[in-house]
């Protein structure tokens, strides 16, 4: 928490809307493909939007280049204000991708995470993570399970959801199904969708959170598929995939 969704998402990057398809793998799980960094922890800072951004981008870049980099969420917190983000108060994944397109993004080791707002550190040389211009666009998915599944067959996806219910905050295991009765069409958190599958007839999406590895199932959780509308916890409401020059 906190996520913003609004006009700042429709910034100067190219924006595409995907079409559905029925030709999909029966299951996808990027956790065992060496394209995901270890689960991170945003702490008390409302920077979920930054972790959702880096999580999807780390995976896309690893798929494209074979190099898995841990990217700097703190740089996004500190430096992307002019694109519409508010650091630990909240932000937009689309605005974060626009910043990265313009400025590039350092690795976490170069610009480590603090968990609070700090002044933007001037860059003395080119970004050592993602170079400027590497992110060429943002793919906005249609609000359907088919669109998300199609995208997940290619790479992890930045997604928004509703996460303020205690049932989610204290989640430990299993597939979440209609426990969040207070969603009301809202989204207030951003995570990374990393796969989908089925277990004993229960279809689910696999998602990576940013609340540390002690939360949930090693920092991951499962949401029920096939519930209609905008999905369990509104997971289909807002889904973004960065497009890279190297892909």
Domains by residue range for the chain, with CATH: 7-13+27-244 (3.90.70.10)
- pLDDT tens-digit readout, 71-104: 999 999 999 999 999 999 999 999 999 999 999 9
Q: Which residues pair with 39 in a beta bridge?
A: none
Measured CA to CA, the distance from residue 187 to residue 183 in angstroms comes to 8
Give pTM, 2 decimals: 0.92
Do 240 and 100 touch, CB atoms closer than 8 A? Answer: no
- pLDDT tens-digit readout, 129-148: 999 999 998 989 999 999 99
Measured CA to CA, the distance from residue 137 to residue 60 in angstroms comes to 13
Q: Is 189 a catalytic residue?
A: yes
Q: Is 32 a catalytic residue?
A: no
Phi, psi angles (nearest 5°) of residue 56: -70, -40
Q: Which of 45, 85, 101, 209 is catalytic?
A: 209
106: pLDDT strictly greater than 60: yes
Give the CA distances from residue 232 to residues 3, 45, 173, 198, in Å, rounded to whole numbers and listed in that order: 17, 25, 16, 15
Q: Which of 189, 230, 233, 234 is catalytic?
A: 189
Higher pLDDT, 83 or 167: 83
Q: Which of 45, 48, 79, 88 is catalytic?
A: 48
23: pLDDT strictly greater than 90: no
Do 35 and 59 touch, CB atoms closer than 8 A? Answer: yes
Measured CA to CA, the distance from residue 43 to residue 81 in angstroms comes to 20
């Amino acid at each position: 928490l906190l996520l913003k969704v609004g006009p700042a998402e429709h910034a100067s990057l190219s924006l595409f809307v995907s079409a559905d398809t029925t030709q999909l793998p029966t299951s996808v799980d990027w956790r065992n493909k060496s394209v995901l960094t270890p689960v991170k922890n945003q702490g008390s800072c409302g920077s979920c939007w930054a972790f959702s951004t880096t999580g999807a981008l780390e995976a896309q870049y690893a798929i494209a280049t074979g190099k898995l980099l841990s990217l700097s969420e703190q740089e996004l917190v500190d430096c992307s204000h002019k694109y519409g983000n508010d650091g630990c108060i909240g932000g937009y994944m689309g605005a974060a991708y626009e910043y990265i397109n313009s400025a590039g993004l350092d690795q976490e080791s170069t610009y480590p995470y603090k968990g609070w707002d700090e002044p933007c550190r001037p860059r003395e040389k080119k970004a050592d993570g993602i170079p400027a211009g590497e992110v060429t666009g943002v793919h906005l998915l249609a609000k359907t399970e088919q669109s998300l599944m199609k995208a997940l067959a290619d790479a992890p996806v930045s997604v928004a959801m509703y996460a303020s219910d205690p049932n989610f905050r204290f989640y430990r295991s299993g597939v979440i199904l209609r426990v969040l009765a207070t969603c009301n069409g809202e989204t207030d958190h951003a995570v990374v969708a990393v796969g989908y599958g089925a277990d004993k007839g229960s279809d689910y999406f696999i998602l990576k959170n940013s609340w540390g590895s002690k939360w949930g199932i090693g920092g991951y959780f499962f949401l029920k598929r096939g519930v209609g509308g905008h999905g369990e916890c509104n997971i289909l409401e807002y889904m973004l995939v960065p497009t890279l020059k190297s892909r």
